[in-house]
Amino acid sequence: MNDGCIAAVLRAAQVRLVNSDSPRADAEILLAHVIGKPRSYFMAWPEAALSAFEVAAFEALLVRRVAGEPVAYLIGSRGFYGLDLAVSPAVLIPRPETELLVEAALERLPIKPCRIADLGTGSGAIALALASERPDAQVVAVDASPEALVVAQENARNLNLAVDFRLGDWCSGLANERFEMIVSNPPYIRADDAHLAQGDVRFEPTMALASGADGLDAIRAIIACAPQYLSPGGWLLFEHGYDQAEAVAALLCAVGFVAVESLIDLQGHARVTLGQLS
């Protein structure tokens, strides 16, 4: 077996990716991106030879991954709720746990045509997933970052989904209008959290991650402004940190939201909290 075959290259890459949580998957995803083949190809053709160009291109990506750069940024995409989304360092990388927020939203949307606002849309993941599942809904997506909106708009075009993207800071992107639902995956990490300087998170935009001394500044701001943009009986839903459910529920109750509830993710953490405008 030559050193330039798929099996040998992947085996060597895994050794170098020892600090990754998923060295085999990382190596396979990067190599699949370079050679334009699905990962299943590696199992069928482990002794297939790689060209010098392919080896060099893979090595360039591998060096960056060893340095900690996220795989999603290296290949420029990430799957979310069945959608293939473009991502860049201008946006937070969509994560599987955020799919719980989408599922919770879909369960509570009225059957009739409705309006939804996604605050802090980033790559557009939540807004586009909702637009995909509810084509009868009018979806507005707001972000304070012009660079993030470029990525989100690219995703909408690629997926042929209609979403009204707007530049603004939380509710400031909304006009004099009402929505049946407002959803948000805002920044919710404490500004002094050591994890911000570790792992993949180092490469993601801080404004999409950190939010004040307790991580709740953005959530407070949204809870304060959301009632004036929600229709009677409308829902407000947040993703938040694994240990913030009680605090977020208290904030919702304090301004009069009812039917306040926290939902558990696949890891057993209370990850989404929601409330209904009375």
Measured CA to CA, the distance from residue 163 to residue 140 in angstroms comes to 6
**Are 74 and 152 in contact, with CB atoms under 8 Å apart?**
no
CA atoms within 13 A on the CB side of 161: 30
Predicted local distance difference test score (pLDDT) of residue 3: 67
**How many CB atoms sit inside 10 A of residue 138's CB?**
17
Q: Percent of the chain at pLDDT above 90?
A: 90
What is the mean pLDDT of the segment spanning 45-72? 95
Amino acid letter at 114? C
Q: What is the maximal distance between C-alpha atoms in the chain? A: 68
Measured CA to CA, the distance from residue 62 to residue 60 in angstroms comes to 5
pLDDT over 60 at 17, yes or no: yes
pLDDT over 60 at 242, yes or no: yes
93 is written with which tokens? 């990388």
| 8-state DSSP, 51 | P
Q: In what order do the strands lie in the sheet with 179-184?
A: 164-167, 138-143, 115-119, 179-184, 230-239, 270-277, 257-264
pLDDT over 60 at 216, yes or no: yes
What is the mean pLDDT of the segment spanning 58-70? 96
| pLDDT band per the 50, 70, 90 thresholds, residue 157 | very high
- The vertex-39 CA angle with 35 and 44, nearest 5°, equals 95
- The vertex-150 CA angle with 115 and 196, nearest 5°, equals 95
| pLDDT band per the 50, 70, 90 thresholds, residue 199 | confident
Predicted local distance difference test score (pLDDT) of residue 200: 84
Measured CA to CA, the distance from residue 78 to residue 94 in angstroms comes to 7
What is the mean pLDDT of the segment spanning 217-228? 97
H or E element, residue 66 = helix 52-66
158 is written with which tokens? 């690629």
Q: Which residues pair with 236 in a beta bridge?
A: 182, 275
Amino acid letter at 202? R
pLDDT over 60 at 120, yes or no: yes
Locate tokens 């004099």: which residue? 176
Mean pLDDT of the chain: 95
Q: Each residue of 96-119: pLDDT tens digit? A: 999 999 999 999 999 999 999 999
Predicted local distance difference test score (pLDDT) of residue 1: 39
CA dist list (Å): 101 to 37, 104, 147, 148, 161: 32, 5, 24, 20, 19
Q: Classify residue 150 as exposed, middle or buried by CB count within 10 Å of its CB (0-12, 13-18, 19+).
A: middle
Question: Could you give the domains of the chain?
Answer: 6-67 (1.10.8.10), 80-277 (3.40.50.150)
Measured CA to CA, the distance from residue 117 to residue 142 in angstroms comes to 8
25 is written with which tokens? 């998957």
Q: Each residue of 252-268: pLDDT tens digit? A: 999 999 999 999 998 89
68 is written with which tokens? 């900690």
Q: Each residue of 134-145: pLDDT tens digit? A: 999 999 999 999
Residue in 143, 160, 101, 104 with CA at minimum distance from that of residue 126: 101
What is the mean pLDDT of the segment spanning 54-83? 96
